[in-house]
Amino acid sequence: MLRLAVAAMVALSAVASPAVASAPAGRVADDAYGALGANFNENIDDLDYGELQEARAGWVRGFFPMPAVNQGDPAQHVAIRTLNEASGRGYRTILSLKFPYNKASFPAPGSAKLAAELARLDKVLPTVMGKADILVIGNEPFIESLPAERDQRLNTFYETVARHVIDYRRERCGADCRTTLYMGALNRLDLPDRRTPAAERWMTFVRQTPEIEGVDIHPHVPTVESTQLFLDYILARMRTDQTFLATEFSLVHHWKKHLKDPVAATFAQKYGFAPGTQVWQVIKAAADEPFSQAKWNDFLASSPWFTSRSGFLGNQMRMFRGTGRLAVATYGFKQDDAMVKDFGPTKDPWLLNSVYASHTVKPRPSGLSAPSPWLKSFQALQPSTR
């Protein structure tokens, strides 16, 4: 069944991978292997079923910030409520549990602070276990932590949380529990200084824990080739029956290098921008007052730094699928408020990744967000049956 599922995933357009190795015999649902879904991060309230249908997406991903438990019933939090609703509509779902310790130390083993964190977890797990298809333990631990504590303290905390989740699933959801578990997510493995002893121990825990299906990665990279360094690192350190997620990936570091480039003279002249106007200034103008679809398309089409990477989504998925070990990847689906707020020459241009240009382009008469150039690639990378 798994090999047939992988074969089905590559029966796509030429944008997709021409061949994929057979998937390992894991416990993730057969139709997960090689999937490309929609990532919303914390902005799951922006989910629009018409846009998901247009994009032919079958998977949806968001994350839940654990401190939100202190603000009310987790089941009513927008992330969990929306993902559970999407599941009820037939979509497959991924929820990442976010533990933000970038402004405070990890709780010490046996401490009251750790007990309180696990008590919060016990309020969340009943709302998602057996409902989400995939639960990722952690969001970006090596970013959401104090730099000085990205060592064994990080490992001890996340291993404790993982064992707690594993015990809960075994005791409350049973051997045939729908929800599979991954550890996530690792960032910037293309940089040698990120392959630390703590990252090595992270992968050792993943490999040695039978209940963990694999690891999540977030390859936000300057080049497609940089992603290979992520794959080389994790695949060599997992069991052969394990798979990986890529719930975030992008060329954001490439886009950022070009924010101070001058825009094309032809574009500037056509739309009334002064000669020498820089890329970031045009993006800010669109953020302040959304462009027409034609104007935004002309801006991107006149930008060699963008058009030269127009095959990114297909190339990246070809690399992921070519391993035969990809469970699910999810790609940034819509621009959000944080992406456009105070846009300037040093801001990370996440908005250039999105499948829908919901903040830089006026919505369509139908009410659906304007598509970005990534929409056609995203559609082409879906199974032909969807």
- DSSP states of 295-342: HHHHHHHT-HHHHTTTTHHHHHHHHHHHTT-EEEEEEE-B--HHHHTT
- DSSP states of 190-203: TSGGGS-HHHHHHH
Write down all domains in the chain, each with its CATH number in brackets: 2-251+313-339 (3.20.20.80)
Residue 6 has pLDDT above 70, yes or no: no
- The pLDDT assigned to 4 comes to 31
Question: CB-based contacts of 290: which residues, under 8 Å, 6+ apart?
Answer: 359, 360, 361, 362
Least confident of 2-11, 55-64, 71-80, 241-250: 2-11
Peptide bond between residue 79 and the one before it cis (omega within 30 degrees of 0):
no
Kindly state the DSSP code that residue 274 receives in the 8-state scheme: P
**Residue scoring higher pLDDT (3 or 157):** 157
Question: Which runs of E-coded beta strand occur in 160-211?
Answer: 180-187
Confidence of residue 22 (pLDDT cuts 50, 70, 90): very low
Confidence of residue 79 (pLDDT cuts 50, 70, 90): very high
- The pLDDT assigned to 175 comes to 83
Residue 386 has pLDDT above 80, yes or no: no
Query: How far, in Å, CA of 141 to CA of 123, rounded?
Result: 21
Query: How far, in Å, CA of 109 to CA of 115, rounded?
Result: 9
306-353 per-position pLDDT tens digit? 999 999 999 999 999 999 999 999 999 999 999 999 999 999 999 999
Does residue 95 contact residue 165 with C-beta atoms inside 8 Å?
no
224-271 per-position pLDDT tens digit? 899 999 999 999 999 999 999 999 999 999 999 999 999 999 999 999
H or E segment and range at residue 140: none
Percent of the chain residues topping a pLDDT of 70: 91
Query: How far, in Å, CA of 70 to CA of 42, rounded?
Result: 17
Could you give the dihedral angle defined by the CA atoms of residues 96, 100, 106 and 112, in that order, rounded to the nearest 10 degrees?
-80
Please, where are the H alpha helices in 73-151?
78-88, 112-128
- The pLDDT assigned to 32 comes to 66
The sign of the dihedral angle between the CA atoms of 307, 248, 226, 260 is positive
- The pLDDT assigned to 219 comes to 98
The pTM of the full predicted model, rounded to 2 decimals, is 0.91
108-151 per-position pLDDT tens digit? 999 999 999 999 999 999 999 999 999 999 999 999 999 999 99
Backbone angles phi, psi at 245, to 5 degrees: -110, 155
Tell me how far the alpha carbon of residue 153 is from its chain's centroid: 25
- The pLDDT assigned to 204 comes to 98
**Contacts for 111-116: CB closer than 8 Å, 24+ residues apart:** 114/157, 114/160
- The pLDDT assigned to 170 comes to 96
Count of CB atoms situated within 10 Å of the CB of 366: 8
* Whole-number average pLDDT of the chain: 92
356-384 per-position pLDDT tens digit? 999 999 999 999 999 999 999 999 999 87
Count of CB atoms situated within 10 Å of the CB of 362: 17
Packing angle of the helix pair 78-88, 112-128 (nearest 10 deg) = 30
Residue 27 has pLDDT above 60, yes or no: no
- The pLDDT assigned to 186 comes to 98
